[in-house]
Amino acid sequence: MAVKNLMRAPIQQTTGPHRIVIVSGLSGSGKSTALKTLEDAGYFCIDNLPIVLLPDLLGRLAALQDGEARHVALVMDIREHAFLDRYEAIAAQITKSGAALELLFLEAEEEILVRRFSQTRRPHPLAQNGSARDGIVREREQLAHLRRLASRIIDTSALSVHQLRDTVAQLYANRKNAAELRIGIISFGFKHGLPAEADLVFDVRFLPNPYFIPECRERTGLDGQVSSFVLGQPETTTFLQLTADLLHFLLPQYRREKKAYLTIAVGCTGGRHRSVAIAGALREILEQRGELPWVSHRDLGKVDAS
């Protein structure tokens, strides 16, 4: 089949739509780790497939009668020159066929990426005769438009390999309905920066700080003593009630608009005490209302005031 005909290849449907996750983003941001995590979750995974072959691949997979490969994950990035030029048109074709297509975009801070390339001793694909930093800057510029199209953005700067795997697994594993609203709660420290993926941000630095209590300083919000202190404050009770009412109003609105993800970020100073305790309390509130949120404590391992 000629390449020019692949873009018009029909994508057959069987008993339900394919779920396709395209993993893209900056080189060194963790795309290989994300793809491996999706493979472990049961996805049929391919790295660096030419974008023009995607419709034909999906059509062939959909023709399988045994239900295999219902979920597909692919890494597509700057290595494939046609990807940026043709992504929007091919994505529109796939979505029109009824398949559920999501674009997961991974990124990280420039200094983090430079360090990663230095540690692995691998050349940046756009470095040419320049430094890895030059390649990173050039790649970020070229991917700016694609980033705006992403269904989901994950900043991996502060994530270990294990944390990234956990985040991807929580987002994509065992989702029976690709159209459901997936709710995540992230605790963080403002001194380490806002989470790029946050949809709603709550600043809980107004609450009394356990860091200034000697017996709580070295503990975290996961510890019962710290959690009891934070949650026992009158201000906390009022805040949680108002936040619960706000989420009770917002969640049906997001579902009506077919929003796939909602990430609630709760921040204190260092991300170890107040934000962690509040994140746990919000999870309990949402679970009592029938939701199944996942929780991640981004800055828990950092030794700073919270």
Residue pLDDT, tens place only, 106-157: 999 999 998 888 887 677 878 776 688 888 998 999 999 999 999 899 999 9
pLDDT grade for 304, boundaries at 50, 70 and 90: low
Query: Which structure tokens are listed for 212?
Result: 């200034």
Nearest Cα neighbor of 33 from 72, 73, 61, 69 is 73
Task: Establish how many alpha carbons lie within 13 A of residue 286's alpha carbon, considering only the half-sphere containing its beta carbon.
Answer: 25
- Say whether 102 sits in a helix, a strand or coil: strand
Is residue 306 situated within a structural domain?
no
Query: Are the C-beta atoms of 275 and 306 separated by less than 8 Å?
Result: yes
Position 28 pLDDT exceeds 70: yes
- Could you tell me the residue range of the domain that residue 203 belongs to? 185-297
pLDDT of residue 13: 39
pLDDT of residue 224: 92
- Say whether 267 sits in a helix, a strand or coil: strand
Q: What is the pTM of this model?
A: 0.61
pLDDT of residue 177: 47
| Strand partners of residue 44 | 72
Number of domains the chain is built from: 2
> How far is it, in rounded angstroms, from Cα 204 to Cα 266?
7
Residues contacting residue 173 through CB under 8 Å, at least 6 positions apart: 41, 42
Query: Are the C-beta atoms of 256 and 243 separated by less than 8 Å?
Result: no
Q: Could you read off the pLDDT of 173-223 as tens digits, one per residue?
A: 755 544 578 899 999 999 999 998 899 999 999 999 999 999 988 999 999
> How far is it, in rounded angstroms, from Cα 187 to Cα 164?
15
pLDDT of residue 261: 85
132, 164, 179 - which closes a domain? 179
Domain harbouring 87, CATH code:
3.40.50.300
Residues contacting residue 93 through CB under 8 Å, at least 6 positions apart: 7, 11, 55
Query: Are the C-beta atoms of 270 and 204 separated by less than 8 Å?
Result: no
| 141 and 196 fall within a common domain | no
Q: Say how many C-beta atoms besides its own lie within 10 A of residue 286's C-beta.
A: 20
Which pairing describes strands 294-297 and 261-268: parallel, antiparallel, or unpaired?
A: unpaired
pLDDT of residue 5: 29
Is residue 3 situated within a structural domain?
no
The helix, strand and coil proportions of the chain, stated in percent and rounded to the nearest 5, come to 45, 15, 40
Q: Could you read off the pLDDT of 64-121 as tens digits, one per residue?
A: 655 555 789 999 988 887 888 889 999 888 888 778 889 999 999 999 998 888 887 6
| 172 and 201 fall within a common domain | no
| 28 and 171 fall within a common domain | yes
Is residue 6 situated within a structural domain?
no
Query: Are the C-beta atoms of 45 and 73 separated by less than 8 Å?
Result: yes
Complete edge-to-edge strand list for the sheet that includes strand 294-297: 200-203, 261-268, 182-189, 294-297
Cα end-to-end span (Å), the chain: 60
Q: Could you read off the pLDDT of 237-255 as tens digits, one per residue?
A: 999 999 999 999 999 999 8
| 108 and 209 fall within a common domain | no
| 26 and 173 fall within a common domain | yes
| 134 and 72 fall within a common domain | yes
| Strand partners of residue 15 | none
156, 179, 202 - which closes a domain? 179
| 138 and 29 fall within a common domain | yes
Q: One-letter amino acid identity for 64?
A: L
| 161 and 232 fall within a common domain | no
Please give the mean pLDDT across all residues of the chain: 84
pLDDT grade for 227, boundaries at 50, 70 and 90: very high
